[in-house]
Amino acid sequence: MSFRDLVRLDLPAPDRQSRPMRVLLATLVLSLALGWGPAAFADGARLRVEQATDAAIDAFNAGDRKAAEAGLREAVAIAIQAGVGESDEGQRATENLAILLKSDRAQEAEPLLRGLWNTQRRLLGDEDPRTLTTANSLGVTLLRLERSAEAEALHRQVWIQRRRVLGDDHADTLTSAGNLAAALGQLGRTAEEEALERQIWTSFRRLLGQDHPSTLTMASNLALALGKLGRATEAEALDRQVWATRRRVLGEDHPDTLTSAGNLAIGLGKLGRATEAEDLQRQVWTTERRLLGEAHPDTLTTASNLALSLGQLGRTTEEEAIERQVWITRQRVLGGDHPRTLTSASNLAATLDELGRTAEAETLKRQVWTTRRRVLGEDHPGSLATAGNLAVTLSELGRTTEAEALQRQIWTTRRRVLGEDHPDTLTSAGNLALTLGELGRTAEAEALERQVWTSQRRVLGENHPGALTTASNLAVTLGQLDRTAEAEALERQVWTSQLRVLGEDHPSTLTSAGNLAATLDELGRSQEAETLLTESAAAMAKRTAPGATPPRELIIQLRSLGRIRLGLGRPEGAYAAYAQATAGLRARAGDRRASGDGDNARAGLIRDRGVFLDQVAAGWAWAHQAP
């Protein structure tokens, strides 16, 4: 097969005399005039390709990415039209063009790299260093396209070949091992990912030293895997170590140092330390805007992460403003169909949900889902994730039958594409179980939640955040089935695990404390419930920044606390809790909904899942009296 067939470029017809064709015609005329033969003509074409490639690389190094891409496309076109696409110069031009494209246009880069790889295997052999380099680049591109199984198979093949040809400790061999680990992580095989990354990190420390850039990069990757495994405290310690080393070795403002700071901030958010995360992200964002500019990809990523921290702090109006700004900028810079642009749109839609603007959220999520299906395909992980987000909004709008159908479709697809035990598949099953519970099909919900919980404990471990969340949901379902003693035992188990793993002030721990208190009250142990809820609500209120929107969980706990205190014959304490709940709901939904206006009662019930103040009866009236 010729190289022309492999690169699949849209080339202009010869009679239109594009610039590459005019260059070739000039070369041909010169060769005829000088009496050159075919070999001399080919030499001239290869020289033209080399010159065009060098000029493009110079343009890229000067920061002109657009000129670099145009120059490399010209070089590839010259090579193909002159029949020298398989020459060293033609291969070099194709490789550089693919590398330029793979970061944000992986779908265009993939056929270029696959064609180049096939050519090199035929001309150079499977284990030639250049062939293996191209195979590695192709594998990275498949990872960007989330074609995880293909990427894993190719990276494993390259790793085996490099170990045989270069040895276990060669830098290229270790690079292949790292890429294989990334593929394992994308496949949801996080324990294998973590084990391999720890092995690579150990090798890099022995061969290159603690402070080498490759050692630090692998440490950062390992921290990410630890976070996915729910080992957030270990991940934070390693991220902090990498950040401190890069500050010392590279300086405060080096891009790698800023990346480490951003990673640490994400880890702090997972630990529930959102205020620390926000402070660090603002520091990084300020530096990146100064050094890289407002529209640089790294700057926009940090802004997006900052918005997430603001959301965790209840400052959803600020969160929405930043997410909208990031989305608009990415549309302008990258285009509406770019994966990062679509991610920004999804983030914004989730925030609109949190703000109670569910109709807007649904519209935006449908738009993202339609685009991802068109660009990536129905079964792509990104398309399925967006469909899952849409199902959540449908459920919050009270359209639970639609939500159930969509969630069942996602679960079926993920089982087929990713496998039964992939974390995303298990998440889909858990979401479906929640919707079944909302539909009153609690026996089905319990069976599915038990199935998911069993798989998560086996795949992720007993104390993984996902497994604990599923256990908590199962306990709620048991309560709905009037199996209150079982619910209490399971909720206490979850709470105890979260106290040990996450700490007493983590949002998930506090939510579990509230769930346990509600069950204790149902069991007639109201004094225990009141003590636990008082401590939990106080800690949750302390975590809420001044002026921030209180989290829904806090309002739920305050409402429950007021009801329990009424039952215990303590009306003044009940009044205080109901007054706080009213103020929180007003902050979340505005005065009109918080006042109990009939036109908004249904919307309030849907949005706040039973928190609407009509449900607190006398407590609502007390909350509107002067103390």
Whose CA is closest to 382, among 363, 392, 393, 368?
368
pLDDT of residue 38: 53
pLDDT of residue 39: 55
Torsion of CA 560, 562, 568, 572, to 10 degrees: 170
Total-model pTM: 0.76
80 vs 512: CA distance, rounded Å: 64
pLDDT of residue 555: 84
pLDDT of residue 21: 43
Provide the 3-class DSSP secondary structure of residue 422.
Answer: coil
| Assigned token pair, 440 | 């009153």
Q: What percent of the chain has pLDDT over 90?
A: 48
Is pLDDT at 402 greater than 80 in this prediction?
yes
Determine the average pLDDT of the residues in 228-241: 90
Size of the chain, expressed as the number of residues it contains: 627
Exposed/middle/buried for residue 33 (C-beta within 10 Å: 0-12, 13-18, 19+): exposed
Judged by average pLDDT, the poorest of 52-56, 162-166, 440-444, 585-589 is 585-589
Is pLDDT at 577 greater than 90 in this prediction?
no
The rounded mean pLDDT for the chain is: 83
Judged by average pLDDT, the poorest of 314-328, 374-388, 544-558 is 544-558
Q: Which residue has the tokens 């031009």?
A: 93
Is pLDDT at 4 greater than 80 in this prediction?
no
List the chain domain ranges: 544-627
Is pLDDT at 378 greater than 60 in this prediction?
yes
pLDDT in tens, 203-220: 999 999 999 999 999 999
With cut-offs at 50, 70 and 90, classify the pLDDT of residue 428. very high
Name the amino acid, one letter, at 217. T
Question: Could you write out the three-class secondary structure of 63-102?
Answer: CCHHHHHHHHHHHHHHHHHCCCCCCHHHHHHHHHHHHHHH
227 vs 502: CA distance, rounded Å: 12
Residues 100 and 60: beta-carbon distance below 8 Å? yes
pLDDT of residue 64: 85
How many Cβ atoms are within 10 Å of 254's Cβ, its own excluded?
A: 14
pLDDT in tens, 283-338: 999 999 999 999 998 999 999 999 999 888 878 889 999 999 999 999 998 889 88
How many Cα atoms occupy the beta-carbon half-sphere of 65 within 13 Å?
Answer: 6
Sequence-ordered list of residues with C-beta below 8 angstroms from that of 219, at least 6 positions apart, any chain: 201, 238, 241, 242
pLDDT of residue 595: 39
pLDDT of residue 589: 60
Provide the 3-class DSSP secondary structure of residue 49.
Answer: helix
263 vs 382: CA distance, rounded Å: 22
| Assigned token pair, 516 | 């346990």
Determine the Cα angle at 368 with ends 363 and 374, to 5°: 125
Judged by average pLDDT, the poorest of 27-41, 58-72, 138-152, 533-547 is 27-41
pLDDT in tens, 77-110: 888 877 777 888 888 888 888 888 877 778 888 8
pLDDT in tens, 452-467: 999 999 988 888 888 9
pLDDT in tens, 558-568: 888 888 988 89
pLDDT of residue 584: 78
Residue, of 241 and 17, whose pLDDT is higher: 241
Residues 482 and 489: beta-carbon distance below 8 Å? no
Provide the 3-class DSSP secondary structure of residue 508.
Answer: helix
